Structure 1
């Protein structure tokens, strides 16, 4: 079987039929081989089969949603004629039909619920709506779609409401969507495709919540697609699917895919942000009071406080969260906790403490780019050890260009932030 280097050489020599054959053989063995799908798309461009090329590139993008080559690849596919179909490639692209239930929680979402439901039409096999006490026109809008509304009394616990929705679904695969999220039209087909490709796995699939960040959109991975045979929702607030103890699975597969959800949950024109933040803080305080060792809730509490510019209050919560997380067997949010703590230290003029935290995060979580960049940028801003600063920023740029994990990270590090910072050296 040809290696990547062999295939790259064949592409350079325009041996497109040979590349096509090699990639098809690889994909018969591993249909999730991102590189093989990408190479096959390039071969299809060379063979002037534009439609086949686009389908191959989009399958690769499904598993590699942050790919920097997306715009160039799709432009190349559209630049050639559609060409004839390739039956072998179409066969590889086929997946079995796996029915999916969308579960949507609502409460006073009359401004967003219609778009949310309209976007789900055709992407899933049924839509379950659970309302927790709307007083506006949300319920009547849902019913206008011919969708039944199930009522669940609000108990200050998002997981209870979400698990009630799971119990109503007729299908095992669940696509959980917030009522202020709108599925991208071009990603509709990806919902069932992802479920089909991972139906035999204990997989927690992360969609990309697209949030407005200044004049651009920032993707934030959120766990949205899973089988209820293996998962249920946990935590009262900032809830997440967790594997059922009865499965005996210690660590499920987690991966981000290209299923994008436009999010308006932090749009001041759509929601009462101060009210939402105060509600979150109150719920988190209650959770922490019941379990002071819950480092995930400690992190979210500190984050909510810092969003409200209460940095000094946030620091002890974030510090404790990081200490507890370091001692835990599974603490996927550790780099986010450390970066948030360093951010609060920086804004309260405790630069030495911020640098020490970031240095520790780069050692504890070396694969995540944000702490590396923040460490280098802070060294640079404080006029400390410019050689170390430059090395850290360069390393962050490399990590950000190739990161495929399920944690959010700053995409602009690879796009422009690292280069801008390095120009200061």
Structure 2
């Protein structure tokens, strides 16, 4: 039976080292821990496991530290784990039988098994990759690379066998959303120093492209990605697909590369890696960015499909961490297509992984807000834990903003009963009391504490409760802009003039009143926007209305802007497209056809509009309008080649 040494290098790993050593202690003959300067309990914890402790002066070189550990090991085989890694309890029993089976075969130097990267301890799966953590103890087998170090035998890749079918699985908990950027920046600095000294390894350009991409240095990322693609074309690597991800995504962010060039790179990537979900994902995100929504949907669904049956052990797969982005985009496109059931399913999948995703939550609630409150609560309770204060606060905060009254009452009561939070929630009060009754309470809170949220809600209750005479109850600290807006709203002073300085507070009032005010009250408020603010304000107000899915108010604001302003063709094309979209969402397909036609005439992105023309055709019950929609698409298809 071959003897096994477990090796770990550490620095301040007290929260991780016990789990790591516990996972291997029963199958190894010795534990070697090389500490590079811990000032926490790392060393004392390792000593409790009987580890042999060695101290190493850190010199910014991971390979050197690992190789020092190897010189201390006496076993015939090495299990070399990072402190934030551990072999799963279900598969640790397979390690020694695998080693014993191949020990006598001198042609095999190492065992490559699956690494699952988790979002923190016991977190969700972020990614998976093949990894060499088990290899022979030999003086000619050593690590190379100051960072992203890898095992080599006499300077060449080791001969290895793959252990697939989940026979040996290692969990890595060190890469979380909070730590990954910091670690990659650290690694990029070391890699750049290597390149300056003339050291370029097989994956150097790939890792540099990754670092620049995550740091928003997209041109540099593209430069390194192109070098990496050439370099990895002649090699077998678990990351050979990845430079295409950085290349396509960086081009998408920059928006300066031609559609032909980006799509050519997408096609090349898919030709080489047709079964990798990340390639399909980033192609889909690119298509979405240029307004090809239907093509984006096809690619994004293909990404989800290929991930579900992905079985390439030899390549990394980071789609798991990216899946919320995939599902969110799919949900938003389905919502654009008026396919609410499909959008609901995809918003749910986002929240199942990222329960505090604001966009997904808002999208989901917009679909179900009018359903029976008991059904909504039952469903939300499948996503959120009512015993967790963070979950309840998230629900109360967001349901407050979205004004979902009875559902909000339920969670607000839990916040009070379970967590003793009896702080004044202005929105809950506003939605549960008559406006004229709640105003004095909100005004009193504002006078005592000077809280802007209370002032805003007090003004909302004053406007909706039709009590301009109560304005003085807010006291002298009331913002001048609010006083002016109230005066204009109730036409108290015909000489009052609102200016662009008042506009930010006006927008806040629009957001708060839109779910609470009557149609007449909302129209009165929006009329102030039409009467007083500069033309640029129209776009901002209509955007708020569209985001809140009040398309009737939005299209009115847009058309008013078009009729009163002197606009350039580019501005008109965007406004007419928004007007067409609002009509489409209101199922006014005649209006959609009219305004989309004008948007196309002024040069708007035809790909984007063509999708809406097709979707309108599919949903429109009027044959005459359907003919107009298809004729319009055909006309501009021919005109633009």
TM-score, L = length of structure 1: 0.64
SS of the residue corresponding to residue 185 of structure 1 reads: coil
Deviation, 1:350, is 4.9
Match of residue 304, structure 1, among 194, 197, 211: 211
Q: Corresponding residue for 1:228? A: 137
- Residues 165-211 of structure 1: CA distance to partner in whole angstroms, max 9, x if unpaired? 22222222221111122332222212223323443334431332332
Which string of whole-angstrom CA distances, capped at 9 and with x for unpartnered residues, describes residues 141-166 of structure 1? Answer: 22233222112222221111112222
Deviation at 1:240, TM superposition (A): 1.6
RMSD: 3.7
- CA distance 1:155–1:322, shift in 2 (3 Å): same
Q: Alpha-carbon deviation of 1:344?
A: 2.0
How do 1:45-194 and structure 2 match up within 5 A? 97-194=1-98
Post-superposition shift, 1:399?
6.9
Q: Does 1:323 align with 2:230?
A: yes
CA contact (8 A) 1:288 1:298 kept: no
Q: Any conservation in 2 of the 1:234–1:240 contact (CA below 8 Å)?
A: yes
Alignment deviations for residues 118-154 of structure 1 (CA, whole Å, 9 cap, x no partner): 2322143321111122233322222233222112222
Report how far residue 411 of structure 1 moved: 5.5
Q: Which runs of 5+ in 1 are unaligned?
A: 1-96
- 1:167–1:340 CA distance, 2 compared to 1 (3 A): same
Aligned to 1:338: 244
Whether the 8 Å contact between 1:377 and 1:389 is mirrored in structure 2 is no
Shift of 1:322: 2.0
Name the CA shift for 1:295/1:389 in 2 (closer, same or farther; >3 Å).
farther
- Structure 1 position 260 matched with structure 2 position 166: no
Partner SS state of residue 186, structure 1: coil
CA-CA distance at 1:107 after TM superposition: 1.2
- 1:284 pairs, out of 191, 195, 209, with 191
Structure 2 residue matching 1:334: 3-state secondary structure: coil
> How many pairs are equivalent?
324
- Aligned-pair CA distance for 1:368: 3.4
Closer, same or farther: CA 300–287 of 1 in aligned 2, 3 Å:
same
Corresponding residue number in structure 2 for 1:4: none
Q: Secondary structure at the match of 1:265?
A: coil
Instruction: Give the Cα separation in 1 of the matches to 2:67 and 2:272.
Output: 34
Distance in 1 of aligned mates of 2:328 and 2:101: 38
Q: What is the CA–CA distance in structure 1 between the aligned matches of 2:47 and 2:20, rounded to whole Å?
A: 13
2:278 match:
370
Contact 1:210–1:220 at 8 Å: present in 2 too? yes
Once structures 1 and 2 are overlaid, which stretch shifts more, 332-341 or 357-366?
A: 357-366
Larger radius of gyration: 2
How far apart in 1 are the matches of 2:231 and 2:14?
Answer: 41
Does 1 or 2 have the higher relative contact order (CA < 8 Å, sep 6+)? 1
2-structure distance, mates of 1:215, 1:186: 17
Measured in 1, the distance between the counterparts of 2:7 and 2:305 equals 38
TM-score by length of 2: 0.44
Tell me, yes or no, if the aligned pair for 1:377 and 1:421 is still in contact at 8 Å.
Answer: no
Contact 2:278 2:303 in 1 (8 A): no
Cα distance in 2 for residues equivalent to 1:395 and 1:134: 43
